[in-house]
Structure 1
Amino acid sequence: MPVPPALTNAVRACRGHFMLAAAFSALINILYLAPTIYMMQVYDRVVPTNGVLTLVFITLVVGAAIATLSALDAVRARLMMRASLRLNRLLSGDILDRLLARSRAKPGDPSTQQAMREFDTLRQTLGGQAATALFDVPWTPLYLFVAFLIHPMLGGLVLGAGAILIALAITNERGSKAKAEQAHQANARAYEAHEATLRKAEVVRALGMRRAMVARHIRQRSAGLDASADLQFSGSRYNSLVKFVRMFMQSFALGVGAWLAIHGQISVGAIIAASVLLSRALQPIEQLVGAWPSIVQSRQALQTLDRLFTNAPSAPEARTTLPDPEGFVELDRVVVRNAEGSAILLKNVSLKLAPGEVLGVIGPSGAGKTTLARVAAGALPPDFGEIRIDDASTADWDPEALARHIGYLPQDCALLPGTVSENISRFAGARGVEQPVIDTEVVKAARMAGVHELILRLPNGYDTCIEGGGHRLSAGQAQRVALARALYGSPRILILDEPNSALDSDGEEALSRAIAAAKMQGAAIMIVAHRAAVLANAERLAVLTGGEIVGVGPRGEIFAALQKSAPPPNVVPINEGVRP
């Protein structure tokens, strides 16, 4: 099974924890022989000789051994937990970063919650009982060796019992593999559908779909639970068989030991020792069989993470720091396909945008306007073609550094759980920007967006928590806050997708003033719009139809041409913006 290099490196970083845990496992398994030796001494030496003093001394010794064993076991558990926590520190950020960097999810790619849930399953298995049992299994031959020293028949008994348990474990693995995969996929689909419905709970209630969706999710959940239950039932049968084999063989070892003692081949103390040795030798195998469902889940989690690390981009390499952009934007023969690759959303689109210029993008619904805005903002990389900022390809820029010079207002606003200030500042505090600087820039952006007074009227002003259980903003309020976020930091490039779709007349006036102010500051502005009012500041318009630019030219001539349904003579027909 392929293992992502990032996971391999993280496990190597925890190698010290695992090596210490393995060393402690060696000591623990050696100390587990102490009770066996103690029993043999009690029955073979203390009882026949009435040696009270000997009993006291060996009791003290076995007490110290068991206390040391318990302490080592506790330290080993802490080491495994520390390794699990370190894996979280090393990998969780990379996993989340790859999920957020993923421009589009391919069919079968994990969702964010699924990927983190799978990672936690793998992490807990590596730091839990299954890993501990794996450390103990290599020491089973030690107990087998001691059993052979007592008597070859007892050694053969331990060997045979171990072989039976291993055969049961292999049979369990082969029988449960397909069922585990089926249960995993069914549960993943159910969780994904449930989360998607919860995000649209208001629409579900408003349209009377609540009971229908509940019934649908119960069916989906039942499919996953039925598959999981089938897996559990199958596993429980093998667990019961393993427990029966271990308990029967432990009792049988007593009987064999008694038979050997009757014939004078072993001592009386060895009878009890044989049963204890067999029990301890089989215990790690029994634990592995019991932990097998978590091992199977971890294997599936590993497949999910491998798919994520294969399909999602890794952290970009360090690049030469380029100067802050002036705002020249060029889209050169950009082609974008849908996630399945079955349709082309943008076809050889070429556009230019200069600082201090406002370009409006118009066209019918489904023409690809939002896709164009996403591409121009850097939210969606093109499949073919190139995007250049100040003559440098966007691939030459550090994505995070470039994004701070781009203001983007998507159709859905996409505000995140946090305060109004945090949303406007793009959570700059989390990346180490000092709070006084953030506060100044936040208020500046809010004033520019004309939303300062509105924010002050919220329950806690700029510190009002929104989204994720916080204060619910209206659609218009959310769009105006998102506009302030786009204006934060005085970006040189401003991409606005339907920025007035939820605004009233006051909001549209504030938006027009904000666009005019950004234009005066020299920002290059692209506005995707259906309503002409927001395009009052646009010098040029681009008409997009069927994913293609069918004309670019001055705003008045484009509108006149659209009214006449004929291209005006001065309109550039094929994507020819002019850079000053």
Structure 2
Amino acid sequence: MACVAMAAALAGSNIDLNWLRQRYPVSARGSNLKDIITISNSVGMSSRAVRCELDEIDDLKVPSILHWGLKHFVVFSGRKGKKYKVFDPAKGYVFLSIQDMSRKFTGVALELSPSPGFQKRVERSPLGLGGIIRLSPEVKRGLLHALILSIVAQIYVSASPFYLQMAIDNAAMKGDEDLLRTLALGFAGFAVINAGAEAFRAVIFQKVAALLNWDMTVRLFHHMVRLPLPWFQRRRLADTNSRFQSIDPIRNLISNGVVGAVIDGALSVVTVVMMFVFSPALSIVTLAGLAVYVLVRLAWLPLSRKYAANALQASIAEQGKRLETLRAIQTIKAMGGESEREGNWANKFADTIRAGQENALIANGFQICQRTIDVLITIVVIYLGVLAIIKNTMSIGILYAFISYRTQFNARITNLVDQVISARMLSLYTFRLADIVLTPAEDDAERSRPDLGNIQGLVEAENIYFQYGPMDRLVLRNVNLRVEPGEFVAIVGPSGAGKSTLMKVLSGLYPPTAGEIRLDGLPLATWGVKLIRRNLGIVMQDDELLPGSIAENVSFFDEDLDMDKVWRCLSMVCIDKEVDRMPMKAETFVGDMGSTLSGGQKQRILLARALYKDPKILLLDEATSHLDVETERSINKTLTSLNITRIVIAHRKETIQVADRLIRLERC
């Protein structure tokens, strides 16, 4: 997907990758060349698949998409000297030698070119800081107070160089001690007032930063957890986590005083005016130095962005490998693969260190340029100033005052420029955040009968089709079923027939590609996903216990936990006696890889969690597969007495035999 977006951009059609992902969602299985051709054609690019040897790669049209390392795609965009310029979605632009190309290029390429009628366009939903930061009334009040205090501080900043000028020209040169004392006392009092204003301003800025950080981070998490389930399943956990963490640089920018820098930068206009009052010539030199600094900063920006992106990608890859290792540590130990896994992680970590060093070298290089510019401009200012003193066109006090103004101006303006450039650099992170923010959340409408106690439990599926992506094969094809209230239906069929997928479609976790699911005769959209899931009991194959006590997991961390109800649910799934024998009983800690529960115990607690909601409909995906026959029979007997609708995926004959009806699914 990223390769198609980059190829289209090289042809002049700047298509946003997030827009492309929403239009052509790719499953976790990835894409093949046929999928890429389909997507390319849809954005107005003609394509031609070719097979070529490495020595023929110069003959390929640019851009071309190359099959890379048997499991990846990159964009070839030309040759520069002896290096080949390649865009790798995982690394950005890289320049590779013929040896590097030989190791990765499989010989399959897709030449792309604008088709007739190709239009240069921008189809994107850009995510700027305005889409992330929201100014609440409290934040606006804080900014107003900070502005007032900044004006007070600016008055002191503007007046303090006068102390130098008057102390030198009027007091020191004339030997007037009384004037010197008066100036010292007056400016000392002014300094105390300024210190108070600065202290209050700092407190306000911290409060504003905290409010902004809290608001945008909470809103981002609120939106993320409400994204559709397929969005999460198409991404690795480490990738999803890194996208959420992309909010951190924005929070750091705010916490590091970007608001104060903007206010101080704006108020520095007063300082510039005072500089021109003292010496127009030296002021022009100072502004010329600032212009040079800004030009160098802008010229350095693409390089900084490139190496920052490389460091970010390397860090994401390392974090992903580390997280995957920790999650699969039991399997790794069972397979004796600690050394191999350590080696894989070490390679990623080495890439992170190397990318971090390169990024630091670029930053250090700019700092050296910055200091050099500042020193050279300072030398010119002092030279011209002293020359003016020699010619009696400027006093020593005025030169001291001007240098003071210049120091204040440089500090504030360079800080403002740095903050603005940092904001520009945030596009590295806002691009990743856009994948979360610009993806629509699930429909949360609650348009239903207010009394859900009247639900009867009738479930209907009409002409259901489902595929994970527009280019994936159908998993469900024309599925129709009707389950009456209180009926027990077992769904059977070979592995890969779509039984678990059907269960997720029935629960609203997956929206059907075509067809309609109805509950009590009303479409799921009418009920709203929140109300449906609040009143369905669901246990899937890969469900997990969360870190917490058994009671908290059964109640799903209900703030008004009903302990009697918890024990009733544990009793219904035949685990109450086992829990009672535990030292901490229902307060025993479970979950998050630290659980000492067996597979069967875990399944029963998950089932108790589903029953705690008093559901009218129970959806179970092999929820008793780890239980012995006698325990499973007892649980089925208890569930039958509840008179609730049950739709169960089962392979064991003990469950199938007690079902009222069987529904068999076959592979599409």
Distance 1:229 1:292 in 2: 24
- 1:522 counterpart = 2:652: no
Q: Which SS does the other structure have where 2:225 is aligned?
A: helix
Tell me how far 1:326 sits from its aligned partner: 1.4
Q: Which SS does the other structure have where 2:608 is aligned?
A: helix
- 1:197 counterpart = 2:322: no
- 1:105 counterpart = 2:231: yes
Distance 1:535 1:65 in 2: 87
CA distance 1:19–1:185, shift in 2 (3 Å) = farther
Q: Which residue in 1 is equivalent to 2:45?
A: none
Matches within 5 A, 1:51-130: 51-102=176-227, 103-105=229-231, 111-130=239-258
CA distance 1:304–1:18, shift in 2 (3 Å) = farther
8 Å CA contact 1:38, 1:58 repeated in 2: yes
CA distance 1:131–1:239, shift in 2 (3 Å) = farther
CA distance 1:308–1:12, shift in 2 (3 Å) = farther
Deviates more, 1:160-169 or 1:14-23: 14-23
Tell me how far 1:477 sits from its aligned partner: 1.6
CA distance 1:61–1:187, shift in 2 (3 Å) = same
Q: Which SS does the other structure have where 1:306 is aligned?
A: helix
8 Å CA contact 1:130, 1:295 repeated in 2: no
CA distance 1:511–1:339, shift in 2 (3 Å) = farther
CA distance 1:420–1:411, shift in 2 (3 Å) = same
8 Å CA contact 1:356, 1:520 repeated in 2: no
CA distance 1:128–1:529, shift in 2 (3 Å) = same
Q: Which residue in 2 is equivalent to 1:554?
A: none
Q: Which residue in 2 is equivalent to 1:414?
A: 544
Q: What percent of counterpart residues are identical?
A: 22
- 1:369 counterpart = 2:499: yes
Tell me how far 1:13 sits from its aligned partner: 6.6
Q: Which residue in 1 is equivalent to 2:466?
A: 336
Residue deviations 1:163-196 (CA, integer Å, cap 9, x gap) = 1111122112232223333333332233233222
8 Å CA contact 1:114, 1:188 repeated in 2: yes
Distance 1:16 1:49 in 2: 49
From 522, 526, 531, the equivalent of 1:401 is 531
Distance 2:299 2:137 in 1: 31
What amino acid sits opposite 1:192 in the alignment? G
| TM, length-normalised to structure 2 | 0.75
- 1:277 counterpart = 2:415: no
8 Å CA contact 1:257, 1:274 repeated in 2: no
- 1:246 counterpart = 2:246: no
Residue deviations 1:302-322 (CA, integer Å, cap 9, x gap) = 222222121141673453444
- 1:496 counterpart = 2:611: no
Distance 1:276 1:460 in 2: 69
CA distance 1:510–1:82, shift in 2 (3 Å) = farther
CA distance 1:186–1:511, shift in 2 (3 Å) = same
What amino acid sits opposite 1:244 in the alignment? T
Tell me how far 1:348 sits from its aligned partner: 2.3
Residue deviations 1:467-506 (CA, integer Å, cap 9, x gap) = 2375432222211111111111321111111112322x2x
From 152, 156, 165, the equivalent of 1:40 is 165
8 Å CA contact 1:177, 1:296 repeated in 2: no
Distance 1:42 1:296 in 2: 44
Q: Which residue in 2 is equivalent to 1:556?
A: none
Distance 1:440 1:394 in 2: 32
Q: Which residue in 1 is equivalent to 2:487?
A: 357
CA distance 1:290–1:205, shift in 2 (3 Å) = farther
- 1:161 counterpart = 2:282: no
Q: Which residue in 1 is equivalent to 2:634?
A: 513
8 Å CA contact 1:21, 1:79 repeated in 2: yes
Q: Which residue in 1 is equivalent to 2:363?
A: 235
Tell me how far 1:39 sits from its aligned partner: 0.8
What amino acid sits opposite 2:230 in the alignment? R
What amino acid sits opposite 1:105 in the alignment? W
8 Å CA contact 1:140, 1:282 repeated in 2: no
What amino acid sits opposite 1:488 in the alignment? Y
Distance 1:7 1:247 in 2: 39
From 287, 292, 303, the equivalent of 2:431 is 303
Distance 2:667 2:486 in 1: 29
8 Å CA contact 2:446, 2:531 repeated in 1: no
From 417, 420, 423, the equivalent of 2:553 is 423
Q: Which residue in 2 is equivalent to 1:132?
A: 260
Q: Which residue in 1 is equivalent to 2:605?
A: 481
Distance 1:401 1:479 in 2: 25
Distance 1:509 1:60 in 2: 92
Distance 1:509 1:280 in 2: 82
Q: Which SS does the other structure have where 1:104 is aligned?
A: helix
Distance 1:403 1:510 in 2: 27
CA-based RMSD: 2.6
Aligned pairs, number: 538
8 Å CA contact 2:134, 2:216 repeated in 1: no
- 1:447 counterpart = 2:561: no
8 Å CA contact 1:243, 1:286 repeated in 2: no
Distance 1:279 1:94 in 2: 41
What amino acid sits opposite 1:278 in the alignment? R
Distance 1:120 1:409 in 2: 35
8 Å CA contact 2:545, 2:592 repeated in 1: no
8 Å CA contact 2:146, 2:201 repeated in 1: yes
Residue deviations 1:395-439 (CA, integer Å, cap 9, x gap) = 11242332222111111231111111111112221xxxx33xx21
8 Å CA contact 2:305, 2:425 repeated in 1: no
8 Å CA contact 2:492, 2:499 repeated in 1: yes
Distance 1:286 1:41 in 2: 28
User: Which of the two has greater helix per residue?
Assistant: 1
Tell me how far 1:377 sits from its aligned partner: 2.5
CA distance 1:26–1:349, shift in 2 (3 Å) = farther
Q: Which residue in 2 is equivalent to 1:15?
A: 140
Q: Which residue in 2 is equivalent to 1:24?
A: 149
Distance 2:467 2:542 in 1: 21
Distance 1:328 1:140 in 2: 70
Q: Which SS does the other structure have where 1:132 is aligned?
A: helix
Q: Which residue in 2 is equivalent to 1:326?
A: 456
Q: Which residue in 1 is equivalent to 2:97?
A: none
CA distance 1:509–1:486, shift in 2 (3 Å) = farther
Distance 1:128 1:66 in 2: 24
Residue deviations 1:233-280 (CA, integer Å, cap 9, x gap) = 212211221123224423442332221111111111112122222221
Matches within 5 A, 1:310-321: 310-313=438-441, 316-321=444-449
User: Which consecutive unaligned segments of at least 5 residues does structure 1 have?
Assistant: 548-580
Tell me how far 1:360 sits from its aligned partner: 0.8
CA distance 1:476–1:2, shift in 2 (3 Å) = same
Distance 1:10 1:516 in 2: 57
Tell me how far 1:64 sits from its aligned partner: 3.0
Q: Which SS does the other structure have where 1:344 is aligned?
A: coil
**Structure of higher RCO (CA pairs closer than 8 Å, 6+ residues apart):** 1
8 Å CA contact 1:411, 1:499 repeated in 2: yes
8 Å CA contact 2:466, 2:477 repeated in 1: yes
Residue deviations 1:333-355 (CA, integer Å, cap 9, x gap) = 22222257423222222222122
Tell me how far 1:108 sits from its aligned partner: 6.7
8 Å CA contact 2:465, 2:474 repeated in 1: yes
Distance 1:55 1:99 in 2: 64
Distance 2:147 2:435 in 1: 31
What amino acid sits opposite 2:320 in the alignment? E
